Structure 1
Amino acid sequence: MIDGQKINALNEWLAEAGLNGTPEDVLVTGFCERARDAGIPLARSLVLIDTLHPVYEGRLVRWGHDASQPGMVEYGRTVVPDGVPLAADQEKGAATWRQSPFFHMLQTGQSLLKLTEEHASVFPVIRDYLAAGMKGGIAIVKRFAPEGVIGEMDAVYSSWMTTQPGGFDDHQVDALVRTVPMLSLAVKTAALTRMTGTLLDTYLGRDAARRVLSGRIMRGVADRIDAAIWFSDLRGFTRVTDSAPEQVIPLLNDYADVIVSAVHDQGGDVLKLIGDGILAIFTTGDRARCCSCALDAATAARRDVAALNARRQADALPVTDMYVGLHVGEVLYGNIGSIDRLDFTVVGPAVNEASRIAAMCRSVEQPVLVSETFAAVDGMRERLVSVGRYALRGVERPQELFTLEPAATA
């Protein structure tokens, strides 16, 4: 017997939970527990929604499955642009998707499908459910209107299984049809919130994303901060683009992977990818800590680039190396640009000087160059060796530059 008051209370709880930003796994668990209490004999559920993410296609939430299966999973690509091959694990996931009730419903335009033993010959997943003691269920696809579609996020997919002989009765199906739309809305809200953070992290950088999400989006608002500044680029990049243009994007991706990872591992924040160039800052604690992290990142990046070069050479792919310029000083960190197009970045004389130092790497034939201000920070001098005094374009006076001490690099 379905308890109408508890069904109404379930929808009210979903509305409140969605407004509060409750995560998907908590939403699904709370929904299933309350639905059972209202008279819907749920045994297993599956809810999934696509997203916008550079690696994952979406997120899947399970309830009532055995403990060997995680309750929440971010699944990989099942669809990629034309000409881009799927990896082996992605191809397996894509094949599973094409054999699912959800894919069938998308092809036929159905929004509700009653799942019975007869479907075991059509959908392999139903055979698994029957083997686990399920007696039937339903699948629901709640599609979004065209203006609500973002990327591949076009619907919330859910399946609901029961051990009740004969599956759900009509009253129980009606109760699910009444409540799943509110669950779908709450799940979409959670997914959009998470997606916003992911996109900002990906395109602005972690710290800049945090500041933007906290509300610091007014044009011209900037903070004065002390930071170690990183400028890097790749050696001979123009040569690679001229001789093997089809290799440009894979090459940039490979080298960005190891350089950005080295910066992030030391607490740095990458603010810009400018072709083959990278601008990053380190603001971890005091100035000595910032500079130490920046030097550690430079050392790690050089080590990882060498390992990458060995792998690429073994595959007969073009290789390169990187140049890094490091400086430390006060910068303005915030929103800069026009009314219609803002950038959250750092500006100031210290940033310009870091750029000039990076550009000197080629002339001095050193992979890493460090300013004398950076070298004067406590604990830095013993890790560095002087390469002489140089005039930097746009900088008032010549200054002594340093590179990594060979023993420290080794």
Structure 2
Amino acid sequence: MNASELQKLLDWLIDGGRSATSPKSFMADTCERMVAAGLPLWRVGVFVRTLHPEIYGRSFIWKPGAEVQIGTVDYKVLDSPDFHNSPIIIVFQQGQEVRARADDPQSARFPIVEELRAEGVTDYIALPLYFTDGTIHASSWTTKQSGGFTDEQLAALRGLNTPLSRVIEIINWRRMAANLLDTYVGNRAGERILGGQIRRGHTETMNAAIWLSDLRGFTSLSDRVPAETVVDILNNYFDCQVAAIKKHGGEVLKYMGDGLLAVFPIDEYVGDEQQVCSHALEAAHESRASVANLNYPIGDAVERFRFGLALHVGRILYGNIGGGNRLDFTCIGPAVNLAARLEKIASQLGRTVVASEGFAGICREGWSDLGEFPVAGFSRTARVYGLVDEKSAA
């Protein structure tokens, strides 16, 4: 063991590993510094549970001379036999280290250790990573060294584990904050909030295609079925739209009961409004088909659903709005208000998808002129367009 290199590594970790610019580079730098200090590492894994509605945890795997592999697992892993027969679950649940030497018959109970032994691994140890909030995460260390890790090498790994845990916790919290913001306010808004745009009045303007949709008959539905069923229906209904919106470059800003507000940002310097509006229209077609295929068993009947969607394009004010220390990152402006009014007109006409004159003027194909309509709160009437392949259900 090289005591000098080991101390340099320890100092680097205590300083936060600041020369590493990403989680991947931090993992690679840490392992390479360990090898330079005399630790004969082969495969190193870090396993961190996260706070995410779909992802249970993330893994970082390092091997000498290879790029760090980052993976994610969803909550289905909790039902996986491989996970329940892994040393990692013991670390997670009991906070105990697990040692599995290749020459120990007891190690055969861990499939992962058997797989590694086939690669020539002679020793495996999983260590708990204790975070300051009390949660337990895990790391695993393997070697191909004849006879496995020495006592001195194991002591070095255990000694480095605490400062390593602190840095991994910081990295994890940063990512968790980004994930939570992405989940609750959207990617674009999340980036701005993390970038420091957190004060009331911090706003900017941008051009965007605006999407505002609403589930038809939601009030009646809420009165007929249990609240838990309503929530499940809403989740399925929003799934029909969100996947299409994200696929085509849009961002969901807000859920308002059964309503959904999304934007498709337009880069005014590139001049891509025609492409952006085309993408929004493609998402509308896909969402319309998905909602039409959505059915939900309620008692002896099967409920089918309809929704209304208004598409508009215009300039919006985007940023922090609210009172005191309770803010909302959202968009407002006449363009958003008009989209909301158009959605109500869609309901009156029994239409699924309608568009403003501005939107239909950019995406010219596939629209029929439905006429001019008075718009509440606006001094002028608005010309409304509907999809030619759709008849009024009124």
Per the normalisation by structure 1, the TM-score is 0.83
Q: How does 1:250-261 map to 2 (within 5 A)?
A: 250-261=232-243
Seen in structure 2, the aligned counterparts of structure 1 residues 107 and 337 have a Cα distance that, compared at 3 Å, is closer
Contact 1:14–1:27 (CA under 8 A) maintained in structure 2: no
1:101 corresponds to which residue?
87
Q: How does 1:3-402 map to 2 (within 5 A)?
A: 3-15=2-14, 18-20=17-19, 22-64=21-63, 71-77=69-75, 87=76, 90-92=78-80, 95-110=81-96, 112-116=97-101, 117-145=104-132, 148-149=133-134, 154-245=135-226, 246-285=228-267, 286=271, 287-306=273-292, 308-309=293-294, 318-375=303-360, 377=361, 379-402=362-385
CA deviation string 1:174-202 (max 9, x = no partner): 11112232322222222222222221111
Seen in structure 2, the aligned counterparts of structure 1 residues 344 and 63 have a Cα distance that, compared at 3 Å, is same
CA deviation string 1:386-405 (max 9, x = no partner): 11222222222332211123
**Higher relative contact order (Cα pairs below 8 Å, separated by 6+ residues):** 1
Seen in structure 2, the aligned counterparts of structure 1 residues 171 and 266 have a Cα distance that, compared at 3 Å, is same
Contact 2:113–2:124 (CA under 8 A) maintained in structure 1: no
CA deviation string 1:227-264 (max 9, x = no partner): 22211011222333333334323322222123122222
- CA shift for structure 1 position 215: 2.0
Query: 1: CA distance between counterparts of 2:365 and 2:62?
Result: 57
SS in 2 for 1:57: strand
1:80 corresponds to which residue?
none
Query: 1: CA distance between counterparts of 2:248 and 2:147?
Result: 58
Seen in structure 2, the aligned counterparts of structure 1 residues 282 and 131 have a Cα distance that, compared at 3 Å, is closer
SS in 2 for 1:18: coil
Contact 1:237–1:320 (CA under 8 A) maintained in structure 2: no
Query: 2: CA distance between counterparts of 1:35 and 1:103?
Result: 25
Unaligned 5+ segments in structure 1 are 78-86
Contact 2:62–2:68 (CA under 8 A) maintained in structure 1: no
**Structure 1: which amino acid aligns with 2:242?**
V
Seen in structure 2, the aligned counterparts of structure 1 residues 316 and 21 have a Cα distance that, compared at 3 Å, is farther
- CA shift for structure 1 position 323: 0.5
**Structure 2: which amino acid aligns with 1:99?**
N
**Structure 2: which amino acid aligns with 1:371?**
S
- CA shift for structure 1 position 312: 8.2
**Structure 2: which amino acid aligns with 1:127?**
E
How large is the Cα RMSD of the aligned pairs?
A: 2.9
Query: 2: CA distance between counterparts of 1:39 and 1:20?
Result: 21
The number of aligned residues is 382
Per the normalisation by structure 2, the TM-score is 0.86
Seen in structure 2, the aligned counterparts of structure 1 residues 22 and 75 have a Cα distance that, compared at 3 Å, is farther
Contact 1:27–1:183 (CA under 8 A) maintained in structure 2: no
- CA shift for structure 1 position 143: 1.4
- CA shift for structure 1 position 106: 4.8
**Structure 2: which amino acid aligns with 1:231?**
L
Aligned-residue sequence identity (percent) comes to 36
**Structure 1: which amino acid aligns with 2:366?**
R
Query: 2: CA distance between counterparts of 1:131 and 1:319?
Result: 54
SS in 1 for 2:140: strand
Query: 2: CA distance between counterparts of 1:106 and 1:381?
Result: 57
CA deviation string 1:17-52 (max 9, x = no partner): 633564333333322222222111222222111111
- CA shift for structure 1 position 173: 1.0
Q: Decide which moves more: 352-361 or 24-33.
A: 24-33
- CA shift for structure 1 position 368: 1.4
**Structure 2: which amino acid aligns with 1:364?**
L
**Structure 1: which amino acid aligns with 2:260?**
I
Seen in structure 2, the aligned counterparts of structure 1 residues 351 and 33 have a Cα distance that, compared at 3 Å, is same
Contact 2:99–2:125 (CA under 8 A) maintained in structure 1: yes
CA deviation string 1:343-362 (max 9, x = no partner): 11111222122111101212
- CA shift for structure 1 position 275: 1.7
Contact 1:18–1:187 (CA under 8 A) maintained in structure 2: no
